Amino acid sequence: MTMCSLLYKTELEVLKRIGDTVQRTRASYSDIAVIRNHENLLDGSLYLYFADQTYKIPYNTVSSKLIHKFITLIRNKYISFNFNAKKVPEYSGDISDTQHGEVSYYFKNLLPQLLQEDTGMHLGAVQGEVPMGERETRLLRKLLYKASDKRLLESIHLTNGKEIVIMNRGRLWGYRWQTQYGKEIFYLPLEKIEGFECRNLESEDTVMSCTFTMTGSKHTFLFLVGNPDLSFYKNFP
């Protein structure tokens, strides 16, 4: 099965080839609830989340610039014209502070690109990569986590007052046998957020699970308990 998309003035058309047939679906840009772009070496996947289904458009990352333009075109159209941007305080923390994890050079270099996507974009919250063996207080689990090198992976959270943009590694946890080459960027329009909740993980007493309930989907990100950057989300419903 292959899939592609065509853009028009007020809507897009998704073409899905199944065997010898082509299924066509048209939808308004305003019906898109979430955009998610995943890249890992040469493999890319663009996800468009609607209320009733999700479209996955695979691509080669050689075409990343074209996909970025595609995403930008959608972002310029999928938020209501009458939506008033929220005023959010500028980030006051230090991205190099390792108290709540370490941010990779890769993400530090990508951050300026995200900030330049539009003039109103600014940093809101940061969760660095954290070796869980150093945080675990129970001896058996501490040894297990150090042996497997279990890590809470990094994420960076930004906003322009209309969207929350989150960049992470495409997974929440990392282990010794996993090499981290990928990145994933979520675009969450504020007007499509139906709920946001943070709670302590039952399996990890030092980690909090924060979940966005969007129109038709849910998306979860992790923070260390006590990370002061979580106050960023007090500005949003």
- The structure tokens listed for 59 are 């691509």
pLDDT of residue 41: 93
With the CA atoms of 22, 188, 151 and 175 taken in that order, what torsion angle do they form, in degrees rounded to the nearest 10?
Answer: 0
Give domain status of residue 7, yes or no: no
Evaluate whether 36 touches 47 at the Cβ level (below 8 Å).
Answer: yes
The residue-averaged pLDDT of 69-76 equals 93
What average pLDDT is seen over the chain?
89
Residue 200 within a domain: yes
pLDDT at 77: 92
Residue 149 lies inside a defined structural domain of this protein: yes
> Which residues neighbour 190 within 8 Å (Cβ) at sequence distance 6 or greater?
83, 86, 161, 162, 163, 164, 236, 237
Ranges 13-17, 170-174, 215-219, 229-233: which has the least confidence: 13-17
Q: Where does the pLDDT of residue 1 fall: very low under 50, low under 70, confident under 90, or very high at 90 and above? A: low
pLDDT average, residue stretch 110-122: 87
Does residue 194 register a pLDDT over 60? yes
Please give the average per-residue pLDDT across 170-177, as a whole number.
Answer: 93
pLDDT band at 128 (very low <50, low <70, confident <90, very high): very high
Q: How many domains does the chain have?
A: 1
Of the chain, the percentage scoring pLDDT greater than 90 comes to 59
Domain contains 48:
no
> Does pLDDT of 153 surpass 60?
yes
Averaged pLDDT for residues 128-156: 87
Q: Is residue 213 situated within a structural domain?
A: yes
Q: Tell me if 150 is assigned to some domain.
A: yes
Cα radius of gyration rounded to whole Å, the chain: 19
This prediction has a pTM of 0.92
In a domain, 199, yes or no: yes
Does residue 132 lie within any of the structural domains?
A: yes
Lowest mean pLDDT among 82-86, 139-143, 152-156: 139-143
Structural domain of 157: 91-237
User: Does the pLDDT at position 40 exceed 70?
Assistant: yes
